[in-house]
Amino acid sequence: MNQTESAKSLENGSAAERFDVVIVGAGFAGMYMLHKTRQLGLSAIVLDKASGVGGTWYWNRYPGARCDVDSIQYSYSFDEDLQQEWEWTEYYATQPEILRYANHVADRHDLRKDMRLNTEVVSASFVEGTNGKKTGHWELETKGEHGGRVEGTFVVMGTGCLSTPNKPKVEGLEDFAGAVYHTGFWPHEGVDFTGKRVAVIGTGSSAIQAIPEIAKEAAHLTVFQRTPNYTIPAQNHPLDPKEYEEIRARYGELRETAKTQPNGLIYDRSPRSVLETSEEERWAEFERRWAKGGTNFIASFNDVMMNTEANEMAAEFVRGKIREIVKDPKTAEILTPHNIIGCKRLCVDTDYWATYNRDTVDLVDVRNDPIERVVPEGVKAHGKVFEVDALVLATGFDAMTGTLLRMNIRGRGDLPLKEKWADGPRNYLGLAVAGFPNMFTVTGPGSPSVLANMIPAIEQHVDWIADCLAYLNEKGVGEIEPVEDAESEWMEHVRVVGDVSLRSHCDSWYVGANVPGKPRIFMPYIGSVPEYARRCNEAARKGYEGFRLA
Ligand code: N01
């Protein structure tokens, strides 16, 4: 159906507007999907409860928010003129700069006219074809500015991996007399903490970026830490114009190289085992990586994420840095992690450890003695009340599945996705779910997504989905759905490759451990990005092998 035909279905008195493709989410996935559907001549609409584009960068406006993948790589590659013309200012871009970029892309490609913002999808149901019409379609109920019903032959979920904030189960939160903020749902007008007593709960990536910034403003900051975390200094810096020019001259070539890398990123990846080095050699390499900054630290040696002994050496180096930087030995000890480095996502910071040297910053260890409750005056822990004026929940997200499961998605035979995924997410290639025809997920569980460079990972998925839609159109196919066997084989493969990595063996949001009651499954695909793309392409080349086409 093209734009004119879609409008016609309205004229014909149909209760809902009908599109070829309904795209949920106006982040980087939804925006690029819209661009691609237009190129195919399909009608499409993007729905998002946010009032603007940008997805995660629209919501996560907490102080200090920035990306820990370098801006040169954390950007779209599909538009050569865009990557030549856009000016990133810093090595790691701030949230406002990334949001400006998202808005620029939306304007540049005139995307907004096919978007319904302030419009939340509350349910999405697959409606089976009837006698007169053999293939089914999706019906989505929405609420908000453009609330109502929308129909799509296909639905593409560009709903993000970290888009449903995880509120901690701490009693009394609603009794707190001051303001409560979640890092993933930050007020647009910003928050002025000047002269305030502030508490932060959590010490993940968001907290580690926010704490140094909040500490600069607040009269006093108390950090409640359950699990200490490893973080590497960003060593962020402005982009050198000469270097940037050189990158631009061969941007396309660099993008192609990135696609051949295990995590889709050009990384300083060592081919050596740490176990084969002398202590001096390995320390020198760790020091070099620390001075350079960023998550590249984890690639100092090729076995850091594969072998516990190798991992312990890298971890011990970081522990030494904590002891060196944090002046109070007791605070340093509480801040020191003893688990696997890189098992929870490695954090990247600016002045995180040094912030604990400020007289106005206190750390409270709530590992074995958890927060008792929140009271109107503050946070009660260790038998006393820490009085504060504002409370910041840096408590993360119901990652990868949270948003999809809250959307009331129902497939064939009215099967709720919640039921299908009761024991954890199941899908084929991280792209489609058996029993949920004509629904695609961009960077869903079972795909490299959060372990890769997100924007190129999105591009790979969207390109694959767009090619698939073109193929279906050309062959006159109205329905596509993975077969159960292909799904089961894929899930088994995801499990087997995940098992080899140290990452799947500790508590993190990768395995759903941060959300009480969530089934424990290592959700992303940790096989390499090129191998993943090869498998997706092979399925397509073989006429969408593993899918049933109707
Ligand atoms: O969330 P998290 P995040 N009492 O889940 C603690 C991406 N990201 O928003 O570890 C006390 O990592 C919890 O403790 P524990 C990135 O992928 C990227 O920080 O469960 N504490 C933990 O310390 C990242 O991994 C960037 O014991 C409680 C914290 O809250 C992902 O987003 C920047 C608690 C949550 O940490 C999520 O990061 C920011 C309780 N009841 C985020 N409940 C960049 O690109 C939870 N916690 C730089």
pLDDT classification of 1: cutoffs 50, 70, 90: very low
pLDDT of 3 strictly over 80 = no
How high is the pLDDT of residue 505?
Answer: 86
Q: What is the C-alpha to C-alpha distance for residues 374 and 377, in angstroms, rounded to an integer?
A: 8
pLDDT classification of 13: cutoffs 50, 70, 90: very low
Q: Is the CB of 71 under 6 A from ligand 1?
A: no
pLDDT of 14 strictly over 60 = no
- Which residue's alpha carbon is nearest to atom 45 within ligand 1? 67
Q: Is the CB of 52 under 6 A from ligand 1?
A: no
Mean of the per-residue pLDDT values of the chain: 95
Q: Is the CB of 198 under 6 A from ligand 1?
A: no
pLDDT of 12 strictly over 60 = no
pLDDT of 11 strictly over 60 = no
How high is the pLDDT of residue 177?
Answer: 98
- Whole-model pTM? 0.96
Q: Which long-range contacts (CB under 8 A, 24 or more apart) does 331-334 make?
A: 331/356, 331/363, 332/356, 334/225, 334/228, 334/363, 334/365
pLDDT of 395 strictly over 60 = yes
Stretch 51-73: mean pLDDT: 98
Ligand 1: which of 67, 222, 226 to mutate, judged by most atoms within 8 Å of the beta carbon?
Answer: 226
Q: Is the CB of 455 under 6 A from ligand 1?
A: no
Share of the chain above pLDDT 90, in %: 94
Q: What is the C-alpha to C-alpha distance for residues 455 and 467, in angstroms, rounded to an integer?
A: 18
Stretch 149-158: mean pLDDT: 98
How high is the pLDDT of residue 500?
Answer: 87
State the distance from the centre of ligand 1 to the C-alpha of 47, rounded, in angstroms.
27
CB 156 within 8 A of CB 172: no
- Which residue's alpha carbon is nearest to atom 36 within ligand 1? 204
pLDDT of 132 strictly over 90 = no
Stretch 367-384: mean pLDDT: 97
Q: Is the CB of 24 under 6 A from ligand 1?
A: no
Please spell the DSSP secondary structure of 499-523, one letter per residue: HHSGGGGS-SGGGTTTSTT------
pLDDT classification of 134: cutoffs 50, 70, 90: confident
Stretch 233-246: mean pLDDT: 96
pLDDT of 8 strictly over 80 = no
Residue 328 DSSP SS3: coil
List C-alpha distances in Å: 411 to 126, 152, 418, 550. 5, 14, 10, 16
How high is the pLDDT of residue 502?
Answer: 86
- pLDDT tens digits along 411-463: 999 999 999 999 999 999 999 999 999 999 999 999 999 999 999 999 999 99
How high is the pLDDT of residue 32?
Answer: 99
pLDDT classification of 9: cutoffs 50, 70, 90: very low
pLDDT of 79 strictly over 50 = yes
Q: Is the CB of 68 under 6 A from ligand 1?
A: yes
pLDDT classification of 501: cutoffs 50, 70, 90: confident
pLDDT of 7 strictly over 60 = no
Could you tell me where the beta strands, DSSP code E, fall in 255-314? none
